[in-house]
Structure 1
Amino acid sequence: MPRHDGLTQSYTDAFGGRLEFGSRPALLIVDFVMAYLDPQSPFYAGVEDALGSNVRLLAAARMAAMPVFFTNVEYEHGGGNGGLFYQKIPALRVFEKGSPLGAFPPQLAPRNGETVITKQYASAFFGTDLTRRLRQMDIDTLIITGLSTSGCVRATALDALQNGFAPFVVREACGDRHPAPHEANLFDLQAKYAEVISEAEAIEFMSSE
């Protein structure tokens, strides 16, 4: 145990920087679709609590007139536009065009004027025009939520940082199929690539805008 504690301290000491909220934030809700909420889906993750958190954050963003972006996943029939990712994870077939599992839950349905980014890979930035859209709007900060923590949320937060947008990942508004990868990835994101904040911190920041 002492060795483990020492390694943890060494880990946190090596990555001690902090990002600050910018002046032009947006809310980015990653892949919060029915595939993670339907118990019959291979991606079911038991993320009802995270759904509630997203509903509250979305309401706060709309109240503050903050730009809101949603992502979803959609493939051609047979996955021809999914490349090796589709080959590696055959269950991605549930996101083929027209599948009800790819739909947004009613509580998180985008409104007119809110952008939906349709992607085929983990990051919301890869192969999409998200970077261009954000720069056109002078966005400098992304409040990131969604599913799953170890997959598309992590990939999106990393690419946000690499593209110059400060990523703030909301702990309660993300979820995974097991608590171990959820917690491990939040720990590592906080250390290296993002700020992991609470729902209350996110709403307080939105309210101050």
Structure 2
Amino acid sequence: MNTPSTPSPAALPWADYLSETDRTVLARGKFGRRMGFGERTAVVVIDAQKYMVGESGRDAEWPSSCGDIGRRSVAAIATLVRAAQDAGVPCFFTRFELAADGADIGVYRRKRDLLQSPHWCLEGTVGAELVPELSPAPGDVVFVKKKPSGFHGTPLLGYLVERGIDTVVIVGGATSNCIRATVFDAASYNFRAIVPHEAVFDRIPVSHAISLFDMDRQFADVVPMADVLAHFAQPRKGRTC
């Protein structure tokens, strides 16, 4: 079992948004304790798709692109996934995609238009594909989801239970939407959730920072990616990571 290091408060992505009063409240309530890794770890990659990161110099053509922020995070995700695969850690990849006619969009359509663009998340389009930097390995699983959480209406929970997983490293985007929803559901199912902050991304910096803060306060360990890579590098002693 490995416990990630606690980052310096000044290094945390949300540090600039908290007042001294906020910090006093956190200290009094003893929020943000580290839970660390358990005995068996999996990586859950949330919606690392082309529509989420667009193309350098052409982001105006990709209506949901997170731009350079997303592309930098994809590079970190790819590094982490390769390390997990080398260590024999199972990886699960979600893809969010919708029918072209919006038949499966549900209440989301009350908040946002169905965008008729091949550069969005419509099924069968280039936008719905995983980014090319990610290559699922034999034994990894790729599946479609229709809601923010990687657990809702998907086989993820069953796969994790079958493999005896107790810790999920959650990466991808967007931090304030699908990452946050997946982390909260993971905690509700009593998984340890680990979020390497370099490997998650969002369109709006303040949403990213405060969502990381909310997750770290009570439902996940938000840690430097180096902590996760160090965990993967440890001898496995005959067990799944």
2:110 matched to which residue of 1?
87
Match of 1:28 in 2: 44
Gap regions ≥5 residues in structure 1: none
User: Hey, what does 1:163 align to over in structure 2?
Assistant: 189
- The question of whether the paired residues in 2 share the 8 Å contact of 1:117 and 1:124 is answered with no
Alignment-derived partner of residue 57 in structure 1 = 80
Native 8 Å contact 2:102 2:114 kept in 1: no
Secondary structure at the aligned position of 1:81 is classed as coil
Calculate percent identity across the aligned residue pairs: 30
Shift of 1:12: 4.5
Q: Mean Cα displacement is larger for which, 134-143 or 106-115?
A: 106-115
- Give distance in 2, aligned partners of 1:121 and 1:92: 17
- Aligned-pair CA distance for 1:18: 2.8
1:81-126 Cα deviation digits (max 9, x unpaired): 2210243232566222111111011111323321012101100001
Q: TM-score, normalised by structure 1?
A: 0.93
Of 44, 62, 65, which residue of structure 1 is paired with 2:65?
44
Q: Secondary structure at the match of 2:213?
A: helix
Once the two structures are TM-superposed, the CA of residue 77 in structure 1 deviates from its matched residue by 2.3
What's the Cα RMSD here?
1.6
Report what 2:163 is aligned to: 137
Q: Secondary structure of the residue that 2:198 maps to in structure 1?
A: strand
Tell whether the 8 Å contact from 2:148 to 2:182 is kept in structure 1 after alignment.
yes
Please state how far the C-alpha of 1:8 moved relative to its aligned partner.
Answer: 2.9
SS in 2 for 1:95: coil
Aligned CA distance change for structure 1 residues 45 and 12 (closer, same or farther; 3 Å): farther
The one of 10, 14, 24 aligned to 1:9:
24
| Superposition pairs of residues 91-170 of structure 1, within 5 angstroms | 94-170=120-196
TM normalised by structure 2 equals 0.81
Contact 2:35/2:192, CA 8 A, preserved across alignment = yes
State whether structure 2 residue 95 is matched by structure 1 residue 72: yes
Q: Is the 8 A contact 1:31 1:146 kept in 2?
A: yes
